[in-house]
């Protein structure tokens, strides 16, 4: 569903063969839902969207069902509304920590991008998914291997980038920017690192 207007739109999306999905979201935005037997099993929630029985109060979020577990993720903070049904909610941070998540009120689940122990990758409603955690650990290992050792110092790279730019030499500057992005990504995922910005 695409809302091409600047105003919030609401209605019911209907499809051939019967069935309909109530929607309500800001524009101009895109939202999408996979519906099975009248229930939303996965959704992209753009523009503070409400799609059927799922919603996200931020500008963009995603919900996906894998068996009895829901995975909630977003690049911004907000509040998900999903069928929690008494299941435990667990948070996975970018540095690999799994922790119980108590910011739940009925079917409303707060999603904080950064909170105390790090930056949020996703929330599990139900049991954490082993395959998801295995892929997450593999990604961390690959990022560490890509950086190699010793770890480049971000401040030194920024200084070198400023020097090459001041001389008008843009080719090394582009390489420095790529390295800075890589350092930042690795900082988010290396084991045993606390990525609280206040730390």
Q: Is the peptide bond before 150 cis (omega within 30 degrees of 0)?
A: yes
* Cβ burial, residue 27 (10 Å; 0-12/13-18/19+): middle
What total number of domains does the chain contain?
A: 2
Domain range for 171 is 137-189
Check pLDDT > 70 for residue 184.
Answer: no
* Percent of the chain whose pLDDT exceeds 90: 49
Q: What is the pLDDT of residue 22?
A: 94
Q: Is residue 48 part of a domain?
A: yes
* 181 shares a domain with 89: no
Least confident of 16-20, 102-106, 125-129, 134-138: 134-138
Write the pLDDT tens digit of every residue in 153-182. Answer: 656 655 665 666 566 665 665 665 666 666
- Write out the two tokens for 135: 């892929």
- Write out the two tokens for 82: 């999903």
pTM: 0.72
* 91 shares a domain with 38: yes
* 81 shares a domain with 34: yes
Q: In sequence order, which residues have a C-beta less than 8 Å from that of residue 42 and are 6 or more positions away?
A: 33, 34, 62, 63, 64, 65
Looking at 108, 127, 146, the residue that finishes a domain is 127
E strand or H helix at 161: helix 154-166
Write the pLDDT tens digit of every residue in 61-110. Answer: 999 999 999 999 998 999 999 999 999 999 998 777 889 999 999 999 99
Check pLDDT > 80 for residue 152.
Answer: no
Q: Is residue 9 part of a domain?
A: yes
CA distance 89 to 69: 10
Q: What is the pLDDT of residue 118?
A: 74
Looking at 103, 127, 151, the residue that finishes a domain is 127
């Amino acid at each position: 569903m695409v809302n091409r207007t600047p105003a919030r739109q609401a209605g019911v999306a209907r499809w051939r063969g019967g069935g309909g999905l109530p929607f309500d979201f800001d524009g101009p935005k895109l939202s999408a839902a996979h519906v099975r037997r009248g229930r939303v099993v996965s959704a992209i929630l753009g523009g503070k969207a409400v799609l059927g029985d799922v919603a996200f109060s931020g500008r963009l979020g995603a919900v996906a069902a894998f068996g009895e577990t829901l995975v909630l993720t977003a690049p911004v903070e907000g509040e998900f509304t999903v069928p929690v049904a008494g299941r435990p909610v667990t948070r996975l941070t970018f540095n690999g920590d799994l922790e119980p998540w108590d910011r739940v009120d009925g079917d409303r689940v707060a999603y904080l991008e950064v909170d105390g122990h790090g930056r949020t990758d996703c929330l599990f409603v139900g049991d954490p998914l082993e395959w998801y955690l295995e892929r997450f650990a593999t990604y961390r290992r690959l990022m560490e291997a890509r950086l190699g050792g010793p770890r480049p110092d971000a401040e030194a790279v920024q200084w070198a980038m400023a020097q090459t730019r001041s001389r008008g030499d843009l080719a090394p500057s582009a390489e420095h920017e790529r390295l800075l992005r890589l350092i930042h990504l690795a900082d988010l995922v290396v084991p045993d690192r606390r990525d609280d910005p206040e730390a």
